[in-house]
Structure 1
Amino acid sequence: MKKLIFAIIAVLFFQLHTQAQLPADSTKADPSLRGQYEFMLAKSKTINGYKLINPARLGGFWKSVSDSINQNRKQLREVKVKLAEQEKAVAALKAQISGAENSLASSNAKLDEISFLGISFTKGKYNTIVWTLILVLAAALAIVILRSAKFIHEAKYRSSLYEEIAQEYQSYKTKANDKEKKLARELQDERNKLDEYKNKGN
C-alpha cells in the first residue's frame, strides 16, 4: 500500500516537473488524430508502468478531437440540409410526374372517346356497336334477299302458270269459235235445206 502511494506521489511530482520544463510541440509528423495520439504516446515517458503525458500535448490532442467532432457535426448538418432539399426536390418532381401522368391519362381518355348523338362512347364500345349494327343489317339484308328470291321464284312460277292457262284458254277459245262457226254453217245448211223442202212442197 505504501509503495502504491509513493508511486502515485512520484508520478504527480514528475508530471508537474515535466509540465514546467516541456514546451508545447510546435510540429507534428502526422496531423491526423491517430498520428497525434501516437506522437503523444511516443513523446510521453513511462515511470513504473505509467505514462507521463505533457498537458500541452494532451490539450492540443483534445482540441483536435473537438475540432474534428465539430467539423463532423457541421458536415452532418450540411448533409441533412442538402438531404432535406433533395427530398423537397424529389417530392416536387413526383408531384410534376403525377400531374403529367394525370394529364396524359386525361388526354388518352379524350382521344379514346367518341361522341355520337350526344352520347359519349369509348372507341372500343363504339366499334363494337357499329360492327354489331353492321352484322344485324347484313343478316336482315340476307333474309330480305332470300325471301325476295323466294317471292321472285314464286312469281315466275305463277306467271308461267298464268301464261300456260292463258294459252290453253286462247286455244280453247279458238276451237270453240271454230266449232261455233261450223255449227252455224251446219245450222244454215239445215235451214237452207228446210227452205228448199218447203219450196218444193208448195
Structure 2
Amino acid sequence: MKKLLFSIIALLFLNLNTQAQLVPDSAKVDPSLRGQYQLMIAKSKTINGYKLINPARLGAFWKSVSDSINYNRKQLISIKVKLAEQEKAVATLKAQISGSENALASSNAKLDEISFLGISFTKSKYNVIVWSLILVLAAALAIVILRSAKFIHEAKYRSSLYEEIAQEYQNYKTKANDKEKKLARELQDERNKLDELRKK
C-alpha cells in the first residue's frame, strides 16, 4: 500500500515536472531513431522499476517514428513503381530476346537448308544423299568397267579364234585350189592320152 501511495505521489510529481519541460531537447546528439530512443531512455527517471518518460520527448520520438514510417512507405511505393517498370522492361527485353532467338534459329535453319528440285533438305541429309548417290554410281561404274573388260577380253579371244579359223580356211582353200588344178591337169593329161589313143 505504501508502495502504491509512493508511486502515485511520484507520478504526480513527475507529471508536474514534465509539464514544466514540454520544450523538446535541443541537445540531441544522434538524430536517428535509435539515438532519440536512447536519449529518451537516458533522460527518463526510474521509480520502483518503472520508467517515467517526458511526454514532449515521447511525442517527438513518436513524430520521428511516424515520419520515418511515412518516408519508408513513400520510398516503398516509389521502389514498387520502379520495380514494376523494371519488370515491364525485363518482360519487353525477354520478348525481344525471344524474338531474336526465334529469328536466329530461323536464319540458322535457312542456312542449314538446301533446296533441290523444290525439295528442302538439311545440309547433313543432303550430304548423306549426295555421297550415297556418288558411292552407288561409283559401284555401278566399277561393275560396268569390270564387265566391259570381261567382254573386251572375250571379244579379243573370239577375234583371235576367228582369225585362226580364217587362216585355216584360207590355207585349206589354197590347198584345195592347188589340188583342183593338179587334178584338172591330170584329167587333161588323161584326156590327151585318150585322144591320142583314139587317133591311132
Smaller-chain TM-score range?
over 0.9
Tell me the TM-score normalised to structure 1 length: 0.92
One-letter code aligned to 2:99? G
How far residue 12 of structure 1 moved from its aligned partner, in angstroms, is 2.3
One-letter code aligned to 1:144? V
1:105 is aligned to 105
One-letter code aligned to 2:40? M
How far residue 46 of structure 1 moved from its aligned partner, in angstroms, is 2.9
1:183 is aligned to 183
Aligned length: 199
Instruction: Supply the distance in 1 between the matched residues of 2:63 and 2:31 (Cα, whole angstroms).
Output: 12
Instruction: Supply the distance in 1 between the matched residues of 2:48 and 2:138 (Cα, whole angstroms).
Output: 116
CA RMSD of aligned residues (A): 1.5
1:68 is aligned to 68
Task: Check whether the contact 1:7–1:48 (CA below 8 A) recurs between aligned residues.
Answer: no
Report which stretch shifted further, 171-180 or 73-82: 73-82
1:139-166 CA-partner distances (Å, limit 9, x unpaired) = 1111111111111111111111000000
2:120 is aligned to 120
Instruction: Supply the distance in 1 between the matched residues of 2:101 and 2:55 (Cα, whole angstroms).
Output: 67
Task: Check whether the contact 1:24–1:56 (CA below 8 A) recurs between aligned residues.
Answer: yes
How far residue 41 of structure 1 moved from its aligned partner, in angstroms, is 2.0
**DSSP-derived class of the 1:120 partner:** strand
1:37 is aligned to 37
2:134 is aligned to 134
Instruction: Supply the distance in 2 between the matched residues of 1:136 and 1:151 (Cα, whole angstroms).
Output: 22
1:17-44 CA-partner distances (Å, limit 9, x unpaired) = 1123223212311111121122122222
Sequence identity percentage? 80
One-letter code aligned to 2:39? F
1:21 is aligned to 20
1:41-76 CA-partner distances (Å, limit 9, x unpaired) = 222233343332211111111111111122222222
**DSSP-derived class of the 1:51 partner:** strand
Tell me the TM-score normalised to structure 2 length: 0.93
Unaligned runs of 5+ residues in structure 1 are none
Task: Check whether the contact 2:7–2:48 (CA below 8 A) recurs between aligned residues.
Answer: no
How far residue 85 of structure 1 moved from its aligned partner, in angstroms, is 1.4
Instruction: Supply the distance in 2 between the matched residues of 1:86 and 1:112 (Cα, whole angstroms).
Output: 38
Unaligned runs of 5+ residues in structure 2 are none
One-letter code aligned to 1:8? S
Instruction: Supply the distance in 1 between the matched residues of 2:195 and 2:45 (Cα, whole angstroms).
Output: 195
Instruction: Supply the distance in 1 between the matched residues of 2:136 and 2:54 (Cα, whole angstroms).
Output: 107
Instruction: Supply the distance in 1 between the matched residues of 2:130 and 2:50 (Cα, whole angstroms).
Output: 101
Instruction: Supply the distance in 2 between the matched residues of 1:53 and 1:198 (Cα, whole angstroms).
Output: 193
